[in-house]
Amino acid sequence: MLNILWAAMMIIGVGWGMATGRMEAVTNGALDSAKEAVTLCITMLGVMSLWTGLMEVARQGKLIQKLTNLIAPFVNWMFPDVPNGHLAKEHITTNIIANILGLGWAATPAGLKAMESLQELNKKEEKGVQEHTTVASDAMCTLLILNISSLQLIPVNMIAYRAQYGSVNPAGIIGPAIIATLISTVVGIIFCKIMGRKR
Amino acid sequence: MNILLYISNMIIPLLIFYVIMHGILQKVHVYDVFVDGAKDGLKTVVEILPTLIGLMVAVGVLRASGFLDFLSQLLKSPSEAIGFPSDLIPMTLVRMFSSSAATGLVLDLFRTYGTDSLIGKIASISMSCTETIFYTMSVYFMAAKVTKTRYTLPGALLTTFVGVAASVVLANMM
């Protein structure tokens, strides 16, 4: 899927640029984006390490376990294939809570860790030998769809931008935003449940 | 409004304070453990760097080629027919690829139409209830070394579509 998607983006981009005579812009777009990716990663290195370090402290202090227990009913229901006590559950919990609180910088590290642990569970059996597969598990699809459906309760960034651009009521979008987020998340959950069942 | 921003500024410092305080009370060697955990984060970032370069270059190429503008032009009349302002199409499309680029477009809309116009409101709400699909998917799946993503993309597109549709309805009710 990603192979096709990525190739399509590149080929359409270059082809379209050629047809419309924007090759110079395309060249700059490619080079600047590559640079931007590295800059982003360097920024992320600090944030990510700070976060994973902090979370390790929270884990050894049994803080994550408390949180995991708190939203366990929801996580267990959404991720029935992940065994209790598996590390993946802790990461999923942290990812969901960070998302709800709008801590994007914390949600991504936890999400990536969750994907890594989910991959440990994701094995196929071939000729009696278990090996890792490159096919996404139901739990992975669910985690992605939950993340993409957006769980953030209070859109702080948007409120700040609205204030900056002279809105009479910058925070007025909180209510509608919560409702819209809830609707899209519920639809995402229903979709995952239906797809996970038919296999 | 100010209280909200104040609270959101407090979350991170308080979180750090709470985690470390709690660790000390549980007799965790906080600094050793922190350094150990931080190494883990380093590894993950280094592993996703190639993904990020690949994806961001593809998005950059697609945007610079003007294809996204063409696509929004193409979608103009069908979207007006269902009551979706066509000025919001570029933002909605770009949102799926890049959060910062979409933010740039939203600020443009704020400048042109005002934050409290219908378009401003739809943009604010839909930015709040959607995510960057392609970025999230490629980075997450690369971390797991998964290439076959099964029903993730249809599900992601569905939730995004529902989120945008809900934004239009809710903004009209505000």
Tokens of B71: 């696509």
| Residues in chain A closer than 8 A to B171 (CB atoms) | 176
pLDDT of residue B1 exceeding 60, the answer is no
Structural domains in chain B (count):
2
Domain final residue pick, B39, B65, B91: B65
- Across the interface, which of B35, B65, B174 has its CB nearest the CB of A26? B65
The reply to whether residue A155 touches residue B124, judged by beta carbons under 8 angstroms, is yes
How much is the average pLDDT of B32-47? 87
The reply to whether residue A173 touches residue B128, judged by beta carbons under 8 angstroms, is yes
Q: Are residues B77 and B161 in the same domain?
A: yes
**Mind telling me how many Å the CA of B81 is from chain A's nearest CA?**
22
Q: Are residues B84 and B159 in the same domain?
A: yes
**Mind telling me how many Å the CA of A127 is from chain B's nearest CA?**
21
Residue B2's pLDDT band (cuts 50, 70, 90) = low
pLDDT of residue B8 exceeding 80, the answer is no
The reply to whether residue B45 touches residue A48, judged by beta carbons under 8 angstroms, is yes
What DSSP assignment string belongs to chain B?
Answer: -HHHHHHHHHHHHHHHHHHHHHHHHTT--HHHHHHHHHHHHHHHHHHHHHHHHHHHHHHHHHHHTTHHHHHHHHTHHHHHHTT--GGGHHHHHHHTT-HHHHHHHHHHHHHHH-TTSHHHHHHHHHHHT---HHHHHHHHHHHHT--B-TTHHHHHHHHHHHHHHHHHHHHHH-
Residues 6+ apart with CB under 8 A from A141: A192, A195, A196, B149, B150, B151, B152, B155
**Nearest chain B residue (CA) to A56:** B37
Q: Are residues B46 and B100 in the same domain?
A: no
Segments forming the whole domain that contains residue B147: 70-174
Distance of CA B37 to the CA centre of its chain: 26
Bridge partner residues of A123 (DSSP): A132
How much is the average pLDDT of A24-31? 94
| Residues in chain B closer than 8 A to A57 (CB atoms) | 19-20, 23, 28, 30, 33-34, 37
The reply to whether residue A169 touches residue B116, judged by beta carbons under 8 angstroms, is yes
Amino acid found at A159: I
The backbone torsions φ and ψ at residue B58, rounded to the nearest 5 degrees and listed phi first, read -60, -45
Q: What is the pLDDT of residue A1?
A: 63
Structural domains in chain A (count):
1
Assessment of whether the complete model's pTM goes beyond 0.80: yes
Q: What is the pLDDT of residue A51?
A: 81
Q: Are residues B116 and B168 in the same domain?
A: yes
Q: Are residues B2 and B34 in the same domain?
A: yes
Q: Are residues B129 and B163 in the same domain?
A: yes
Q: Are residues B75 and B155 in the same domain?
A: yes
Q: What is the pLDDT of residues A74-97, one digit of tens each?
A: 999 999 999 988 999 999 999 998
Q: Over A42-53, what HEC string results?
A: HHHHHHHHHHHH
**Vertex A30: Cα angle to A28 and A33 (nearest 5):** 100
In this structure, is residue A193 part of a structural domain?
yes
Interface A–B counts its CB contacts (< 8 A) at 352
The backbone torsions φ and ψ at residue A175, rounded to the nearest 5 degrees and listed phi first, read -55, -60
How much is the average pLDDT of A142-165? 88
Bridge partner residues of A129 (DSSP): A126
In this structure, is residue A30 part of a structural domain?
no
Q: Are residues B81 and B160 in the same domain?
A: yes
**CA separation for the pair B129, B153 (Å, rounded):** 17
Q: Are residues B74 and B61 in the same domain?
A: no
In this structure, is residue A180 part of a structural domain?
yes
- Per mean pLDDT, which range of A98-107, A134-143, B90-99, B154-163 is the poorest? A98-107
C-alpha closest to that of A152 among A99, A93, A92: A99
In this structure, is residue A1 part of a structural domain?
no
Q: What is the pLDDT of residue A182?
A: 95
| Residues in chain B closer than 8 A to A183 (CB atoms) | 129, 162-163, 166
pLDDT of residue A100 exceeding 70, the answer is yes
Q: Are residues B44 and B102 in the same domain?
A: no
Residue A130's pLDDT band (cuts 50, 70, 90) = low
pLDDT above 90 coverage of chain A, percent: 47
Most confident of the following: A69-83, A159-173, B5-19, B55-69: A69-83
Domain final residue pick, B65, B83, B99: B65
Q: Are residues B59 and B76 in the same domain?
A: no
Domain final residue pick, B65, B85, B108: B65
Q: What is the pLDDT of residues B67-124, one digit of tens each?
A: 988 888 898 888 888 889 988 998 998 898 888 778 888 988 998 999 999 999 999 9
Q: Are residues B81 and B128 in the same domain?
A: yes
The reply to whether residue A119 touches residue B144, judged by beta carbons under 8 angstroms, is yes
- Quickly count: other Cβ atoms within 10 Å of residue B67's Cβ: 22
Segments forming the whole domain that contains residue A171: 153-199
- Quickly count: other Cβ atoms within 10 Å of residue A198's Cβ: 6
